[in-house]
Structure 1
C-alpha cells in the first residue's frame, strides 16, 4: 500500500535546506590534505579510518551564533557544536565557490562531506527547497555544475571526500510519479544522477545515493520499486566502483532504532514495517542487493535527538522541540550502517513560516513546525538554541 497523496507529498518534501550564502573570513591555514594521493576503498567502511570534517562554513555560523546567545550559560556547550563534523551543501552553481576555501583546513585524517544538490526541477513535490535550474536545463547541470565540482576534486587528489548524491530526487519518482512537476522532472533526475555518479567516480571520493527514509521508501509497496529506481541509476552510470550505497534520513527526524516506532500505533502502520532507520536500511538494503546495487548506508542523526514531536510521519519543516542527535561516528552497531553523520546543518531553516512568501510551503505553517522561521537555508538563532538545549546526548 502506498500512502495517501497528502502523505506522499509530505515525504517527498523532506525539505533539504541548503546553507546560507554566508561570506566567511578566511580560516587560519593548517596543513591540508595528505602527502600523497588518497585512494578510498569502497568495498570497506572508510568511516573507521576517517573523521567527518567540521567544515569552516558551518563552524563560522556556529561561532557567530555563540556571540548572539540569548542565554550566556549556553556558550560553552554551543561552542562545542562547531567542532562537530558536518556536510557542506553545494546547492547552487555559485556555492561551488565555497569548496576551495573549505579545503584549506582539512587534515589527512579527515574526510570532507559534500552534498551534491542542484538537479533541474529540484524537489519536484516541494516549494521551500526548489532549486535554481529549471526543468530541461540538464546540459547546464552537467557542464556548469557537476563538471566544475569534478574539476576541483581532481585538483585535490590528496584530500578525501564523501558525497551525498541529490537528496530526495529518485525517491520522488517512486512516490510522486503522478504529480505533473515530478513527471516533468523525471528524465532530468535520472540522467543527472547517473551523470553525477559516473563523473564523480574518483579514487579519493566515496559516494552515497540518497534514498529518503523509512517513512518514505520504507513502505512495503515502495521497497522494491525504490531499490530498482536507484539501481537503474547505478547501472546507467556504469556501476561506479566508488559508490558505497545510500544516505538516509537526510535533514530528517526519524529515530535510528526506536522500538516500537514513533508511528507504530497509526492505523496504516501495518503497511510499513520500517518503523525506524535501522530496520529501513536492513530491508531496503536487501532490496538493493537483489537489484544489484551496493547497499551500505550513512544515516543523518543531526536533528533526531528527540522523538514523538511530529503530528504525522511526513511533517518535515522545522519540527518544534527537536534536538541535536548522536555525533558522527562509525560505531553504529550495524554492519550495513557505515556511520551516523550530520548532513543537515542544524540551525539553518527548512523553510519560511511566512505564508505570504513565494517559497512558503504549508508544512512550515503546521502546528508542529517552529515559528517564526526564515527562508530555507537562512540561520535561525532561536531554533539553533532549541536544538542545543534538547540535544541527546547533551553537549
Structure 2
C-alpha cells in the first residue's frame, strides 16, 4: 500500500523571472480610503483577481512572437486574466510596489509568499535562495520588507498565498534529510509570516498541496493538523481564511471518476478530484481548529489523462489553460478558482546537465525542451492556449 508520494515542488517561479517593463495603460483608480477585508466572508465576491503588470508584460511579449493572426488574437486575451505574482526571492520584493500602483480599487492583488529557508526540500528545480538555517534572514530580509510595503498601501486589497509545498512536504517527505533539516524553519517561518502579515487589508490562505498529495486517506488528518499548528503558533490571526490547493497543479476540479481512479492504490485515496479534496480537507481543518475555506488553482488543469502518476508535476505535456478566475465555484467551501501559476513560466529545466535539473522534468509526460523554473517558455504558452478550456 502506498499512501504517500515523494512529490516535488510545484515550482511556481523558483528563480527570478526576466524583468519586465509595465505595459502602457491608464493609471489604476485606487481606493480613496483604507480597505478592510472581513476574512470571515468570501472576499472574492467583491473583488476581481488583478491581472498584474509583470505577467501581462510576459504575455504581451509572447503575443508579439506569434505570427498566426487567430492565435495572436486569442493570446492577447490572456493578458487580461488575473493571476498571482510570485515573490520568490528577496530581489523580487521590488515587484510589489509597481504591482500595487497598478491595482484598481475593484481588484485584489494576489501575491505568493514563497522563499522559506530550505524551500522545496523534496525538489531540485525550485530550491530557494535561503539555506535551511537562515530563518532570521527570511524574517528580516524577506517577510519584514513585504509587511512594510503592505502597511504602506492600506487602500489596496491583498490576497496572500502562503508558502506553496512547505507544510505538505513535512507531512509526506519527513524521511528526507533535506526536509528534516528544514522542518523547524518551515513551521516557524510560516507562523511568522502569518502573524506578521495579519493586516486589515489582507486575506491569507496557507498552501495544502492537492488531492493527490494530502488527499490520501492517511494524510488528511496529519495534513490538516500541520496547517492548524502553524495557524495557532501565529496566535490564530483573524485574516487567515483557509487553504489553497492545486497551486501550479494539474488536477481536475470535479472529474468523475477521477484521473487515477483505476490505479492499483486508488482505494487509499478518496480525493480523486479537487472538489472532493476541498470538502474532505476542509472538514479535517475544522476539526483541527482552523478556518477552512479554499482557493483552487485552475490555471493549467483543462486537460486530464496526461500524467503517468499523481506526483508528476513538471511542465506536463498537453496541458491547457483552465477556468478563468471566478468566485462562482458551486462549492460552499471553495471561495474561488484562481490562476496561481503564471501559465507559460516553466516549472523546471529539462536540461539533464543543469545544476537544478530534476528528474521529474525529464519524464515522458514532461514537455521538452523547457528552461529553468520561472523563465518563459513560448512553445509551452502556445500549447496552453491551443488546449484552453474554455477556449479564448
Question: Where does residue 17 of structure 1 map in the other structure?
Answer: 13
What secondary structure, in the 3-state scheme, does the structure 2 residue paired with 1:115 have? strand
Question: Where does residue 286 of structure 2 map in the other structure?
Answer: 289
Pairwise CA RMSD of aligned residues? 1.1
Equivalent residue in structure 2 for 1:184, among 178, 181, 184: 181
Runs (5+) with no aligned partner, structure 2 = none
What secondary structure, in the 3-state scheme, does the structure 2 residue paired with 1:147 have? helix
Answer yes or no: is 1:68 the counterpart of 2:65. Answer: yes
Answer yes or no: is 1:348 the counterpart of 2:342. Answer: no
User: TM-score, normalization: structure 2?
Assistant: 0.98
What secondary structure, in the 3-state scheme, does the structure 1 residue paired with 2:63 have? helix
Work out the CA distance in 2 between the residues paired with 1:14 and 1:267: 25
Work out the CA distance in 2 between the residues paired with 1:320 and 1:173: 28
Work out the CA distance in 2 between the residues paired with 1:13 and 1:140: 22
Q: Is the 8 A contact 2:370 2:377 kept in 1?
A: yes
What secondary structure, in the 3-state scheme, does the structure 2 residue paired with 1:197 have? helix
Equivalent residue in structure 2 for 1:315, among 304, 312, 316: 312
Q: Is the 8 A contact 1:52 1:86 kept in 2?
A: yes
Q: Is the 8 A contact 2:11 2:374 kept in 1?
A: no
Work out the CA distance in 2 between the residues paired with 1:49 and 1:306: 30
User: TM-score, normalization: structure 1?
Assistant: 0.97
What secondary structure, in the 3-state scheme, does the structure 1 residue paired with 2:109 have? strand
Q: Is the 8 A contact 2:37 2:201 kept in 1?
A: yes
Work out the CA distance in 1 between the residues paired with 2:232 and 2:282: 17
Residue 71 of structure 1, CA deviation: 2.8
Question: What is the 5 A alignment of 1:226-237?
Answer: 226-237=223-234
Q: Residues 47-73 of structure 1: CA distance to partner in whole angstroms, max 9, x if unpaired?
A: 000000000000000000000015332
Q: Is the 8 A contact 1:12 1:176 kept in 2?
A: no
Q: Is the 8 A contact 1:214 1:276 kept in 2?
A: yes
Work out the CA distance in 1 between the residues paired with 2:288 and 2:297: 24
Question: Where does residue 3 of structure 1 map in the other structure?
Answer: 3
Question: What is the 5 A alignment of 1:73-88?
Answer: 73-88=70-85
Q: Is the 8 A contact 2:8 2:313 kept in 1?
A: no
Question: Where does residue 53 of structure 1 map in the other structure?
Answer: 50
Question: Where does residue 274 of structure 1 map in the other structure?
Answer: 271
Equivalent residue in structure 1 for 2:301, among 285, 304, 311: 304
Residue 31 of structure 1, CA deviation: 3.5
What secondary structure, in the 3-state scheme, does the structure 1 residue paired with 2:86 have? strand
Give the count of matched residue pairs. 391
Runs (5+) with no aligned partner, structure 1 = none
Residue 3 of structure 1, CA deviation: 3.2
| Greater Cα offset, 236-245 or 100-109 | 100-109
Q: Is the 8 A contact 1:12 1:175 kept in 2?
A: no
Q: Is the 8 A contact 1:14 1:314 kept in 2?
A: no
Q: Is the 8 A contact 2:22 2:54 kept in 1?
A: no
Question: Where does residue 199 of structure 1 map in the other structure?
Answer: 196
Work out the CA distance in 1 between the residues paired with 2:175 and 2:220: 18
Work out the CA distance in 2 between the residues paired with 1:35 and 1:203: 16
Work out the CA distance in 1 between the residues paired with 2:257 and 2:52: 36
Residue 30 of structure 1, CA deviation: 1.3
Equivalent residue in structure 1 for 2:212, among 209, 212, 215: 215
Answer yes or no: is 1:33 the counterpart of 2:7. Answer: no
Residue 22 of structure 1, CA deviation: 1.7
What secondary structure, in the 3-state scheme, does the structure 1 residue paired with 2:322 have? coil
Residue 220 of structure 1, CA deviation: 0.3
Question: Where does residue 361 of structure 1 map in the other structure?
Answer: 358
